[in-house]
Structure 1
Amino acid sequence: MAIQILVVHEYTVIQKIANNYILTEYSDAVVKTFSTTLAAIEELKTVKYDIVLCAMEMPKMDGIAFSEAILETINKDTHFVIMTSNYDDKNIKAYKQLGINHILSIPFTQPQLTTLIQGIVDPRSKRVFERFVIQDTEVLIQVGNETLKAKLINIGLNGLLCELKHQKAYDRILQGNKLSLRFSGSYETVVANDIQSAMMRISVTDWDDNNLPISLRIAFRFVDMPKKTRNIIQKAIKNSANELTLAETKALEQIMAQEFKPEV
């Protein structure tokens, strides 16, 4: 069954970042977002969730009051995560004394969020491989004499997940086992070539009006690659591991400035 997650934050940019990070790791997750705790608590009275994430700094009802209000709903046993920009030992200790054991700093990276979620939903399991988001990266899939361009969803040292929107190529995609990666943006424009791979999983994520697939998500396992290619991938992963995109960073800086703006 798909994991059900509710995200509560006053700013839509945080909602979108959390939503994107969650769906990158858990493509079948159901994520719902709210801008107010009052609206969210009404939702929690009738809809069951697996995890609830809420910002500490919320108008009218802050994160602590919200966590207490949840106890009066059908989600009283749901895992609760507080999100806060005041992430230090003193505040962490205070939250835990209140029974809030899951704390996420703002800003947060994709690995930080998904590792926290994984620890909640299945703390005994280990991920097959660490996966990271590397923005604006193309996956080039070689099928015979044709090269199909897909969007990278996430990547690790042992494999990747990509999204392909190329309707005419679906009947031939199973023949594609040679990949290249084209990195850009803050990772410089560089291509990692000659990746021998094995297709592990393929799923349809969107259909046209005739119920024919128009979008596929494909998971590849890396089998072999040149040393130079592996070094390029390792460098890109290292750079992305604790990095937010430029747009996200600017948005979060604006939010932080507003939160700490002195009252007049």
Structure 2
Amino acid sequence: MPAADLPLLIDVVRMAGRVATSFVGKSARRWDKPGGAGPVTEADLAVNDMLKHQLLLARPDYGWLSEETEDGAKRLMHDRVFIVDPIDGTRSFTEGGDTWAHAIAVAERGQVTAAVVFLPLRDLLYTAALGGGAFLNGAPIAASPVTSFEQACILAAKPALLGTVWGSGACPPFKPAYRPSLAYRLGLVAQGSFDGMLTLRPSWEWDIAAGALIVAEAGGTITNQRGGALLFNNPDPRLDGVVAGGSAIQAALLDALL
């Protein structure tokens, strides 16, 4: 049902943008999650509540997995599940930045079939449906054709640049860059603004699911850090890192990693 789900996701993600921007980032009440899981704000919870109500009202037979909802085994009984990050890049939001995003995906038996990533303060809407291509604000996008590290700009956090994670003992000679939202990083890779991205830490499904389909539909490749296919709605909703990019540079990144 990708064609039917995508318009729903587009409608509700724009609603999410209105809810989030009704809060002032720096003054929104915030607190830290237990176990060093990062910050959360009243805006995250308000967006989560709205999305859960609207999406499950429209699709009551779908399961639900969200960063801001206590997880349980019930979602595993559903063939289709919403995978949601109400605000990806909460630190950017609390600092008054504009690189935070809403990310919503539908996964069917492990495969993402419809996805949106929306940055309301930048008016950037990435969309994709399985087999239908990837788009930014309605225009088709395509991943980078770059083939060599010397020409490549890769989105990566500092731990992924350490020589200890690369087979040669040194980071390849690509130009590194960083953006705080994983969903936004994947959108940037899908549109070819950056040639690839990688994160080698365990990654929550809600950070990756929407962007994964958008990259793939833009002609890019995305896997875990060992080259394995990404499957979603797992009992433990964490992935073994993520490597994405235009197909040539993504393969080169995998080859260069330990």
- TM-score with structure 1 length normalisation? 0.23
Structure of greater Rg: 1
Return the structure number with greater relative CO, CA threshold 8 A, min gap 6: 2
- TM-score with structure 2 length normalisation? 0.23
